[in-house]
């Protein structure tokens, strides 16, 4: 597979220097080399070293996420910001398609009719379309999307390949991440109130880089 980085020489140099600064300031850590590539990219995207302590990765998350992406899995995003932030060319290498239904008219209509949230209804729409099993579910904004995903896992035996649970906020963000950790599905989460769509994008890009590295030996 050709180089997926698609960066200029200067851009690559800046990124490499940034990663070197992060490595030096963080020092020792308990992450595996692959896990550290994910955490380091989260820190790089936020300039916030607290994510070293906040980021929790299940033992099978990296392998399952890479395998799913290499197999062209759907990526279910809670908000359009994730969809827009992801590099289309990298995704096309594997045939992955990103879905975000939160702005669809039928989702808005259902949310109003049920006094629900658009995030919940968007996850339900993904389920109705058979997109959740084997998918990477990326939640960076709406804790209710994360809670609904966990409910479908527990009640309907839905099986995403990986949950990236990094919603930011004060209401239900902490609880939703804790529920993901307690679920039976591989996960990458940022505990506490911090998170965001930028972090979800950074995690997916890190997994895509790792996938390319494995293929290129």
pLDDT at 112: 97
pLDDT at 217: 64
Q: Is 205 a catalytic residue?
A: no
Whether the CB-CB separation of 68 and 129 falls below 8 Å is answered with: no
Does any domain span residue 203? yes
Sequence-distant (6+) residues with CB within 8 A of 46 are 196, 198, 199, 202
| pTM of the predicted structure, to 2 decimals | 0.93
Q: What is the 3-state secondary structure (H, E, C) of 40-75?
A: HHHHHHHCCCCHHHHEEECCCHHHHHHHHHHCCCEE
Mean pLDDT by 10 residues, the chain (217 residues): 55 86 94 98 97 98 98 98 94 96 98 97 98 98 98 98 98 97 97 97 98 85
Q: Which domain holds residue 129?
A: 52-216
Residue from 55, 49, 14 nearest 35 by CA: 55
Does any domain span residue 211? yes
pLDDT at 13: 78
> Cα(195)–Cα(185) distance, rounded to whole angstroms?
20
Catalytic residue among 29, 44, 127, 205: 44
Count of domains observed in the chain: 1
Domain holding 78: CATH number?
3.40.50.10230
Does any domain span residue 153? yes
pLDDT at 7: 61
């Amino acid at each position: 597979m050709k180089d997926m980085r698609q960066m200029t020489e200067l851009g690559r140099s800046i990124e490499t220097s940034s990663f070197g600064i992060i490595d030096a300031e963080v020092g020792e850590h308990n992450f595996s080399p692959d896990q550290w590539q994910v955490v380091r990219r989260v820190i790089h995207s936020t300039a916030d070293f607290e994510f070293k302590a906040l980021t929790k990765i299940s033992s099978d998350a990296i392998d399952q996420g890479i395998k799913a992406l290499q197999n062209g899995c759907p990526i279910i995003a809670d908000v359009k910001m994730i969809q827009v932030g992801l590099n289309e060319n990298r995704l096309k290498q594997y045939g992955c398609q990103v879905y975000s239904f939160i702005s669809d008219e039928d989702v808005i209509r259902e949310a109003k009719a049920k006094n629900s949230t658009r995030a919940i209804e968007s996850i339900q729409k993904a389920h109705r379309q058979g997109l959740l099993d084997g998918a990477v579910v990326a939640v960076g904004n709406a804790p209710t999307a994360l809670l609904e995903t966990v409910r479908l896992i527990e009640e309907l035996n839905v099986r995403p390949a990986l949950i990236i649970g990094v919603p930011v906020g004060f209401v239900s963000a902490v609880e939703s991440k804790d529920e993901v950790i307690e679920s039976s599905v591989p996960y990458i989460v940022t505990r506490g109130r911090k998170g965001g769509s930028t972090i979800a994008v950074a995690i997916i890009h890190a997994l895509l880089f790792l996938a390319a590295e494995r293929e290129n030996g």
